Amino acid sequence: MDPAHAPTTRHPSGDPVPTTALVEIRPAGRPDAAAISRLVTANVGLGHLLPRTPDEIGRHVSRFLVATLDGTVLGCGELAPLSDRLSEIRSLVVTTGSRGTGIGTAVLAALVAWARRQGVPRLCAFTHVPHPFVAIGFSIVPHTWLPEKIMTDCQECEWFRRCEQYAVVIELGWGQSGPRGTARTI
């Protein structure tokens, strides 16, 4: 479909953007690595993400999901294992022109669903914007509740001990009333 004639919605800036109905969310492949790297790098300067090298993204491209429209990457996110009990959603970002359209929320939901299918018991993220996470069941927690993250990434970060991000966690192995799916459904 020609993007010029695709159904659109309005971004808060007033610019037309594609609706999420036309956006495909899929596992990333090697050909997506360069686009993911450009998207991540563009947002590091805005203070939205921590830096990632193109080599690092290339090595881990299979852990990413991408949101695409007609082959163009509009958003991405990575599901990165930190331990056998905890994985992290990282590098969750959409293009500037696609913000406010629901693409980021769709990628987030797809990452959570992907983690559930993989049997990940606990999922975390560090974010400046916690409300999309909280809206789907994450809780804001102290950073110290995630020692795997601190040991893996935080100690090397220039923002360590003065981090302005929120730590969020969701227990995927819990049912509605307790651990390991003990909730009864009717």
- Residue 151 within any structural domain of the chain: yes
pLDDT (0 to 100) of residue 156: 64
Strand, helix or coil for residue 162: coil
- Residue 97 within any structural domain of the chain: yes
Distance separating alpha carbons of residues 79 and 89, to the nearest angstrom:
5
- Residue 94 within any structural domain of the chain: yes
Question: 């331990």: which residue's tokens?
Answer: 83
- Residue 186 within any structural domain of the chain: no
Q: Which domain holds residue 112?
A: 3-181
- Residue 51 within any structural domain of the chain: yes
Task: Report phi then psi at 77, rounded to 5.
Answer: -165, 150
Q: Which residues, in sequence order, are CB contacts of 60 under 8 Å at separation 6+? A: 78, 80
- Residue 22 within any structural domain of the chain: yes
pTM for the complete prediction? 0.77
Question: 């997506």: which residue's tokens?
Answer: 32
- Residue 80 within any structural domain of the chain: yes
The tally of domains found in the chain comes to: 1
Domain containing 15 — which CATH number?
3.40.630.30
Distance separating alpha carbons of residues 36 and 18, to the nearest angstrom:
19
For the chain, 186 residues long, give each residue's pLDDT as a single digit of tens. Answer: 333 333 444 444 555 555 566 889 999 999 999 999 999 998 886 666 777 899 999 999 999 999 999 889 999 999 999 888 889 999 999 998 888 888 999 999 999 999 999 999 989 888 888 888 999 899 988 767 675 666 566 546 555 555 666 788 999 876 544 444 444 333
pLDDT (0 to 100) of residue 62: 96
Strand, helix or coil for residue 94: strand
Please tell me what DSSP assigns to residue 16. Answer: E
pLDDT (0 to 100) of residue 131: 87
pLDDT (0 to 100) of residue 106: 93
